[in-house]
Amino acid sequence: MSVLFYLKVYIFGLFRALQFYFKPGVLYREYPQHADPRKNKYFQACLKYIPAARSGIRKAWITYNQIMVEKDINKFNLLLKEVGNMINSVQSGKSFHISMSKSEAVLSLKKLAMNIYYEVGILYGYNQNYDDELDYYDRAAQMQNRDDPGCMELTPTKDKIYKNIRNYFATRQEEMHYDVLLINAGMIPSPIMPWSLIILATYLKKAGVTVRIMDDFSEEYEMIRAAKSASLIGFSVMSAQIGPSLKLSRLIKKHSPDKFVVWGGVHPTLFPEQCLQEDSIDFIVRGDGEDALTRLSNCVKNRDFKIADIPSLGYKDNGTIRVNPFGDPVRFEDAGPWALELLDMQNYLSCSFMRTDSKHPSISFISARGCPRNCTFCINSVISQTRIHRARAVDSVLDEIEQLIHKYHIRTFNFIDEAFFINPKNFASFVEGILKRNLKFEWGGTCHIADILRNKELIISAKKAGLIYLSGSGESGSNRLLKLINKGITVENILECSHFLANNGLITGSSYMMYLPTETPEETKATLDLVQQVKNIFREKNNPSYIMGPAVFRPYPGSKLYEMCVESGFKQPETLEDWGNMTLWTGEFKLDNITWCNGKIK
Ligand code: B12
Ligand code: SF4
pLDDT of residue 514: 93
Q: Long-range contacts for 63-71 (Cβ within 8 Å, ≥24 apart)?
A: 64/116, 64/117, 64/120, 64/161, 65/157, 65/160, 65/161, 65/164, 67/120, 68/120, 68/123, 68/161, 68/164, 68/165, 68/168, 69/164, 71/123, 71/168
Please tell me the number of the ligand nearest to residue 375's CA: 2
Query: Is 445 in the same domain as 485?
Result: yes
For strand 412-415 and strand 362-365, is the pairing parallel, antiparallel, or unpaired?
parallel
Q: What distance in angstroms lies between residue 519's CA and the mean position of ligand 2's atoms?
A: 20
Closest atom of ligand 2 to 387 CA is 5
The protein residue with its alpha carbon nearest to ligand 2, atom 6, reads: 375
By residue range, what is the domain housing residue 261? 176-323
Q: What is the pLDDT of residue 199?
A: 97
Residues 40 and 159 in one domain: yes
Task: Look at residue 20 in the predicted model and tell me its pLDDT.
Answer: 39
DSSP state of 304: -
Q: Do 7 and 81 fall within a single domain? A: yes
Note whether 363 and 340 are within 8 A (CB).
Answer: no
CB 153 within 8 A of CB 105: yes
For residue 477, the domain's CATH number is: 3.20.20.70
What pLDDT is attached to residue 233?
A: 98
Give the ligand 1 atom nearest the CA of 288. 53
Contact 507, 444 (CB under 8 A): yes
- The ligand 2 atom at the shortest distance from the C-alpha of residue 374 is 5
- What's the pLDDT tens digit per position in 376-385? 989 888 888 8
Phi-psi region of 409 (alpha: psi -120 to 50; beta: other; left: phi over 0): left
Q: Output Rg (C-alpha) for the chain, integer angstroms.
A: 28
Give the ligand whose atoms come closest to the C-alpha of residue 552.
1
Residue 196 maps to a domain: yes
Please provide residue 180's backbone torsions phi and psi, each rounded to the nearest 5 degrees: -135, 135
Comparing C-alpha atoms, which of 473, 362, 488, 372 is closest to residue 414?
A: 362
pTM score: 0.77
Query: What's the average pLDDT block by block, 10 residues per block, for the chain (602 residues)?
Result: 56 44 33 38 41 46 53 52 49 35 38 48 40 40 40 42 54 75 86 91 95 88 89 94 93 95 95 96 97 97 93 96 95 93 75 54 91 91 89 96 86 90 93 96 94 96 95 96 97 98 95 95 96 95 89 83 91 84 66 82 68
Q: What angle do CA 112, 118, 122 make, to 5 degrees?
A: 140
Q: Please say which residue of 114, 138, 171 terminates a domain.
A: 171
Claim to verify: residue 180 and residue 205 sit in the same structural domain: yes
Mutation choice for ligand 2 from 387, 390, 448, CB with most ligand atoms inside 8 A: 448
Is residue 428 packed enough to be buried (19+ CB in 10 Å), middle (13-18) or exposed (0-12)? middle
Per-residue pLDDT at 240: 82
Write the CATH number for 253.
3.40.50.2300
User: What total of structural domains would you count in the chain?
Assistant: 3
Same-domain pairing of 37 and 156: yes
From the CA of 238, how far away is ligand 1's center (Å)?
6
> Please, are residues 71 and 127 in contact by the beta-carbon 8 Å criterion?
no
Measured CA to CA, the distance from residue 498 to residue 472 in angstroms comes to 9
End-of-domain residue from the set 323, 356, 389: 323
240 lines ligand 1 (CB under 6 A): yes
Examine the domain organization and report whether 114 and 132 are in the same domain: yes
In sequence order, which residues have a C-beta less than 8 Å from that of residue 363 and are 6 or more positions away? 191, 193, 348, 349, 404, 408, 410, 412, 413, 414
Q: How do residues 204-249 score in pLDDT, each as one tens digit?
A: 999 999 999 999 888 788 899 889 999 999 999 998 889 899 999 9
Would you say the CB of residue 66 lies under 6 angstroms from ligand 1?
no
Q: How far is the C-alpha of 297 from the C-alpha of 208, rounded, in Å?
A: 11
Residue 391 shares a structural domain with residue 515: yes
Q: Which ligand is nearest to the CA of 195?
A: 1
